[in-house]
Amino acid sequence: MLNFYSLHNPFFLMCIPVVACLLILVTYLLRWRHYRLLHKYAQWQHEAQEIEVATHIALYNQKKNDQPIYPKVSIVIPSRDQADQLKMLLPKLLEQEYKGNFEVIVVDEKSSDETSLVIKQFSNSYKNLRQTYVPATSRHIELRKLAITLGIKASFSEWVIILNPDTIPDSKSWLQHYAENLQPGVDFIRAYYNYEHNGTATSRCAIIERLRQFAMDLAAYEKGLVLNCETANYAVRKNWFIEQQGFADSLTLPFGEEKIFACYHATTERTTMLCSSDTCVTELMPTKRNLYETRMYASETKKHLKGITKRYTVHDSIATISLYLCTFIAIAYIQLRVIYDIDASHYSQQYIYTDIFCLFIWLCLLILPTWMLRIGAKAVNQKPFGIYIYLHEMLQPWRNISIMWMRYIHKSEFKRNFIN
């Protein structure tokens, strides 16, 4: 039977840092190294932008007066009772410095606020702003699904970009850089975006979650799988979207239409992932309640995706378990060493190399995720959060438990509601 002294033999103590090292390696391979993909794809995008005039990689291979012809683009914005957000968004869109033709279509989902008045005011100054409505008799389709579909069908261009009223382009050249990627041979484009940072712990947590999710999506993309899609800053080829019957696969759900559509219809051969700050938009920080609802719906949507996508959820869970085990081992090792040295009344010199090795491992445990997150955040012009990433990952299982509880409470809301 093992006792304290048998546990405190040199061989056992040497095994502890080796096991911890393996656990850190597992966490790195399954999670932390994915942040480097943000840097890689952002660098590729910047290089393409720098040589676009010479090679036309990001444009149609057509010329007029020695100038590239940029594609016509339609921007569709489904909106419901978001007049205040539209006041902020529309000037940012309508004043984009774009060399081609574009239009903005706001699809009103039966708003009861001043949405129509706001659009009318802007349309007096901007002729490329249009508005359409969800029919009053749309009883069998969720309003957002129908609004996006109607907006795409009403567009005059081959390419349609979807934005939400609370997603604001970061610069006036956002559309210009985005359109450079609307190429032949591509049907679907997904661009990175994140929440605004308002200095709260809630916003830090939400930003890191989305950054980590996009990094995981890039890892899946490199393996030949379009894993995910958020609700804004993505583009579809109009005819392709109609050929795929739009959001027909998610008619039984009141949420998750973008994720399900991307998972079942987008292929990596005809999909482009953008993560440069030039094509980024910033989402206004929602309330804590709305943020929890977003997490809950995203978690529930995973049940309806392809079975192969669950592999990445399992990988993420393994990474979390490895991180917890490594932290537990670190605490256990320190306790064993302190108790043994107190009992011996002096520092045990024979363990100095093991202690140094363990110290190195524990420093890696704190520094490695911070460093990798910094690389990814810098690529998308996102503020890094230092050592907070470690605390965030340690608290992730408790957030997952909270989300599971919310899913249980609100499970009756996960079925389609017929709209009168």
Torsion, Cα of 407, 410, 414, 415 (10° steps): 150
Instruction: Report CA-CA distances (Å) from 312 to 33, 226, 315, 365, 407.
Output: 14, 12, 5, 22, 21
Residues in the chain, overall count: 420
Per-residue confidence (pLDDT) for residue 327, from 0 to 100 = 87
> Is the distance from CB of 278 to CB of 323 less than 8 angstroms?
no
Query: Residue 138: which region, alpha, beta or left (left: phi > 0; alpha: psi -120 to 50)?
Result: beta
Per-residue confidence (pLDDT) for residue 67, from 0 to 100 = 53
**Torsion over CA: 329, 330, 335, 340 (sign):** positive
Per-residue confidence (pLDDT) for residue 111, from 0 to 100 = 83
Q: Which residues pair with 74 in a beta bridge?
A: 103, 160
Q: Please report which confidence band the pLDDT of residue 390 belongs to, taking 50, 70 and 90 as the band edges.
A: confident
Per-residue confidence (pLDDT) for residue 17, from 0 to 100 = 79
CA 227 to centroid of chain Cα atoms: 11
Q: Residue range 125-141: average pLDDT?
A: 80
Per-residue confidence (pLDDT) for residue 412, from 0 to 100 = 79
Which DSSP letter does residue 348 get?
Answer: -
Computed over every residue of the chain, the mean pLDDT equals 85
Is the overall model pTM greater than 0.75, yes or no? yes
Per-residue confidence (pLDDT) for residue 199, from 0 to 100 = 84
Instruction: Report CA-CA distances (Å) from 209 to 233, 295, 393, 395.
Output: 17, 10, 9, 12
Across 336-360, b (16+ Cβ under 10 Å) vs e yields bbeebeeeeeeeeeebeebbebbee
Bigger pLDDT: 420 or 401? 401
pLDDT of residue 420 exceeding 80:
no
Q: Residue range 5-33: average pLDDT?
A: 78
pLDDT of residue 350 exceeding 80:
no
| Angle value at C-alpha 238, between 232 and 241, nearest 5 degrees | 75
> Is the distance from CB of 208 to CB of 132 less than 8 angstroms?
no
Q: Return the closest-CA partner of residue 191 out of 111, 99, 136, 273.
A: 273
Q: Residue range 346-357: average pLDDT?
A: 76
The side-by-side arrangement of strands in the sheet containing 194-195 is 167-169, 281-283, 194-195
**Torsion over CA: 402, 403, 408, 411 (sign):** positive
Q: Please report which confidence band the pLDDT of residue 138 belongs to, taking 50, 70 and 90 as the band edges.
A: low
Q: Please report which confidence band the pLDDT of residue 95 belongs to, taking 50, 70 and 90 as the band edges.
A: very high
Backbone angles phi, psi at 161, to 5 degrees: -105, 135
Per-residue confidence (pLDDT) for residue 397, from 0 to 100 = 87
Q: Residue range 11-29: average pLDDT?
A: 83
Per-residue confidence (pLDDT) for residue 407, from 0 to 100 = 86
Q: Which residues pair with 273 in a beta bridge?
A: 190
Burial bucket for residue 8 (CB in 10 Å: 0-12, 13-18, 19+): middle
Torsion, Cα of 177, 272, 75, 241 (10° steps): 160
Bigger pLDDT: 227 or 411? 227
Per-residue confidence (pLDDT) for residue 417, from 0 to 100 = 57
Q: Which runs of E-coded beta strand occur in 263-383?
A: 271-274, 281-283
Q: Please report which confidence band the pLDDT of residue 257 belongs to, taking 50, 70 and 90 as the band edges.
A: very high
Rg (CA), the chain: 25
> Is the distance from CB of 393 to CB of 369 less than 8 angstroms?
yes
Per-residue confidence (pLDDT) for residue 274, from 0 to 100 = 93
